[in-house]
Amino acid sequence: MIKLKIFYEDEDIIVVQKPAGVESQEARGFAQDMVSLIRNHRMLSTQLSTTPSTRRTPPYVGVIHRLDRQVSGVMVYAKTKKAAAVLSAAVQKGEVRKIYHAVVCGKPVDNHGQWVDYLLKNGKNNTTSVVDKSVEEAKKAVLNYKVLGSAVEESGRELTLLEIELLTGRHHQIRVQCASRNLPLWGDVKYNPAFQDKRGVNPALCSVQLSFRHPVTGEQMTFSMKPEAEVFRLFREKD
């Protein structure tokens, strides 16, 4: 069982670190997921503080946003339906700020900018592609990026560390928008041809910062973490 790392918790919300390889919403079968981990944490807390008669209903855990299973990062979950409604509305209005760090293979033409694309999800093979805006069901995808550093692997492959602010939340958005510009993520077996035959690697992508207003108090809150994947250390060693 994975140990739950908690950044913050009160009666309304819980902010946690999602490890790579764990689903952000309830998973089928025996796969571990964040909802179950949080629910188990809440049940244990309830057992320690209540009588048996008050423990029959499983604790509520509201999913507010999602991260791909292979991606790690900061996430907020609601502990009440009211908090879930307020936070979900904030996400829809673009009031929840999400910052990512990504390691891409190659180097962008510009050191900063905004990428706007139209994406179409293929539900059959769980992939997404960039398409013309006229394509039916295509969804607009927008992100801002800036270059934080560069490094070279022992193999000679040039890598770039990007900071990305996600302005829309589309399926595989960062991975697809980067790959479409010949900047596929390091470790991405779906969208980087150099890794399609690899096993046991995850995309070098981490949700490093999450900012939002508390759904009850209105307090502005920001939580941050450092990426733990080995490839990110190439850039820390140069600091």
pLDDT reported for residue 217 = 98
pLDDT band at 208 (very low <50, low <70, confident <90, very high): very high
Reported confidence tier of residue 47, pLDDT bands at 50, 70, 90: low
pTM metric for this prediction: 0.91
Other beta carbons within 10 angstroms of residue 165's beta carbon come to 15
Q: How far apart are CA 100 and CA 210, in angstroms?
A: 9
What ranges do the domains of the chain cover? 5-236
Do residues 233 and 239 touch, judged by C-beta distance below 8 A? no
- Range with the poorest average pLDDT among 6-10, 124-128, 212-216, 219-223: 124-128
- Of all residues in the chain, what percent carry a pLDDT higher than 90? 82
Per-residue pLDDT band for 31 (boundaries 50, 70, 90) equals: confident
CB neighbour burial string for 33-48, b if at least 16 within 10 angstroms, e if fewer = bbbbbbbebbeeeeee
CATH of 5-236, picked from 3.30.2350.10, 1.10.10.60, 3.60.21.10, 3.10.129.10, is: 3.30.2350.10
Using DSSP, state whether 225 is helix, strand or coil: coil
- Please tell me what DSSP assigns to residue 178: H
Judge whether residue 30 has pLDDT over 80: no
pLDDT of 142 strictly over 90: yes
